[in-house]
Amino acid sequence: MFFHYLWGVIKIGPKIELPDFPLLLAPMEDVSDPPFRLVCKQYGADLMYTEFISSEGLIRDAIKSRKKLDIFDYERPIGIQIFGGDEEAMALSGKIVDAANPDIVDINFGCPVKKVVCKGAGAGVLKDIDLMVRLTKAVIKSTSLPVTVKTRLGWDDATINIMEVAERLQDIGIQALSIHGRTRQQMYKGSANWKYIAEVKNNPRIKIPIFGNGDVDSPEKALEYKNNYGIDGIMIGRAAIGYPWIFNEIKHFFKTGEHLAKPTIVNRVEVCKLHLQKSVEWKGEKLGLLEMRNHYSNYFRGIPNFKDTRTKLVTLNSSAELFELLDSVSQMPELQAL
């Protein structure tokens, strides 16, 4: 079994080497697709995961599920994340993922969404650690790749079981654990409790890398959590949506204690256009334009008097018109100082 540090490097399995204190892009449904991952990689993400993929969908050969297996060499190291509540289905999907040749197979035991939990998957498995162990073991046996897990603290405040989860999953062979500092009951409300993440990391039995997730949305907070909780790296989710610059901003702040200059309106437009271009190339014109609508508000968050332009961005149905509109945004005199 292959664990942990080598001369300031974080290792996952025998081959994957990450920089000391890596920044990970969280797997987010309908967000962490290849176009989004491309811009995050360009701006400093060290390890990324696909959107989570249903094991049942993979076995049924569902088009949407199979499409999520698309990965590209420039993304490496990259993990494909799967979820499910049936051992046989998880084992079969592990073999399918193995054939797609990612660097890591990740298992989602943290998604709190009702439609996932009701199927006994995602965070629903937190109610049954024995099942979690069996599902994980089934995937480990089905693949030659390192297996990692992303989970939450527990089902609710009365059943926080993350220490037992960490120990038992490490014992059967997972190579890293990412912990979102909320319970399933919290969903995404309230504050993430990193105290429990730190307790797992500081457990002398735990030798695998422990990555923390939840509420990191600034370089200052990233440094505070790094220093206070002793984790091996941070996974960033919602704060990267429409703002891939956050990875390099955090790294720069770690090194210098100073802030990188914020992206200008020209920077924002350039990255948004690249994201749009790749979205259309990967998904086709119709779907690519439709799904990009979820990102425009984030790319241009905080821009004054932008409501009319934002409305156009989410209603235009031609990529040519959208690129023309974005070019005009970067040339608006009133935005040049931003």
Count of C-beta atoms within a 10 Å radius of residue 324: 11
Q: Looking at the structure, tell me whether residues 251 and 274 fall in a common domain.
A: no
Q: Rounded to an integer, what distance in angstroms lies between the CA atom of residue 143 and that of residue 123? A: 23
Residue 175: DSSP 8-state: S
**Which has the closest alpha carbon to 66: 77, 78, 55?**
55
Question: Are 14 and 2 contacting, i.e. CB atoms less than 8 angstroms apart?
Answer: yes
Q: Looking at the structure, tell me whether residues 244 and 302 fall in a common domain.
A: no
Residue 7: DSSP 8-state: T
Chain-centroid distance of CA 311 in Å reads 28
Q: Looking at the structure, tell me whether residues 286 and 251 fall in a common domain.
A: no
Q: Looking at the structure, tell me whether residues 215 and 321 fall in a common domain.
A: no
Helix axes 219-229, 246-256, angle to 10 degrees: 60
Residue 67 main-chain phi, psi, to 5 deg? -60, -30
Tokens for 188, please give them: 């995404």
- Single-letter code of the amino acid located at 89: A
Question: Are 242 and 212 contacting, i.e. CB atoms less than 8 angstroms apart?
Answer: no
Q: Looking at the structure, tell me whether residues 111 and 178 fall in a common domain.
A: yes
**pTM strictly above 0.95:** no
Q: Looking at the structure, tell me whether residues 135 and 177 fall in a common domain.
A: yes
Q: Rounded to an integer, what distance in angstroms lies between the CA atom of residue 178 and that of residue 151? A: 6
- Single-letter code of the amino acid located at 318: S
Q: Looking at the structure, tell me whether residues 287 and 192 fall in a common domain.
A: no
Angle at 34 between CA 238 and CA 85, to 5 degrees: 70
Question: Are 31 and 241 contacting, i.e. CB atoms less than 8 angstroms apart?
Answer: yes
Query: Of 256, 288, 323, which residue constitutes the final position of a domain?
Result: 256
Euclidean distance between the first and the last CA atom of the chain, given in angstroms as a whole number: 50
Query: Of 204, 238, 256, which residue constitutes the final position of a domain?
Result: 256
- Single-letter code of the amino acid located at 88: E
Q: Rounded to an integer, what distance in angstroms lies between the CA atom of residue 15 and that of residue 64? A: 30
Q: What's the structural domain count of the chain?
A: 2
Q: Looking at the structure, tell me whether residues 153 and 240 fall in a common domain.
A: yes
User: What is the gyration radius of the CA atoms in the chain, in angstroms?
Assistant: 20
Strands 78-83 and 104-109: parallel
Q: Looking at the structure, tell me whether residues 213 and 294 fall in a common domain.
A: no
Q: Looking at the structure, tell me whether residues 246 and 319 fall in a common domain.
A: no
In tens digits, the chain (338 residues) has pLDDT values of 444 444 468 999 888 999 999 999 999 988 999 999 999 999 999 999 999 888 888 888 766 777 889 999 999 999 999 999 899 999 999 999 999 999 999 999 977 777 787 677 787 888 899 999 999 999 999 999 999 999 999 988 889 999 999 999 999 999 999 999 998 888 888 889 999 999 999 999 999 999 999 999 999 999 999 999 999 999 999 999 999 999 999 999 999 999 999 999 999 999 999 999 999 999 999 999 999 998 998 999 988 888 899 999 999 999 999 999 999 988 776 565 55
Question: Are 150 and 126 contacting, i.e. CB atoms less than 8 angstroms apart?
Answer: no
Q: Under the phi-then-psi rule, with left for phi > 0, alpha for psi from -120 to 50, and beta for the rest, what region is 311?
A: alpha
Q: Looking at the structure, tell me whether residues 22 and 144 fall in a common domain.
A: yes
> What is the domain range of residue 283?
265-335
Q: Looking at the structure, tell me whether residues 185 and 326 fall in a common domain.
A: no
Angle at 152 between CA 147 and CA 157, to 5 degrees: 155
User: Which residues are catalytically annotated?
Assistant: 111
Give the pLDDT of residue 8: 66
Q: Which residue has the tokens 């014992």?
A: 171
Spell out the alpha helix ranges (H) of the chain: 34-42, 55-60, 63-67, 87-100, 114-117, 129-142, 162-172, 194-202, 219-229, 246-256, 265-283, 285-292, 296-299, 307-313, 319-330
- What's 313's domain CATH number? 1.10.1200
- What's 103's domain CATH number? 3.20.20.70
Query: Of 207, 232, 256, which residue constitutes the final position of a domain?
Result: 256
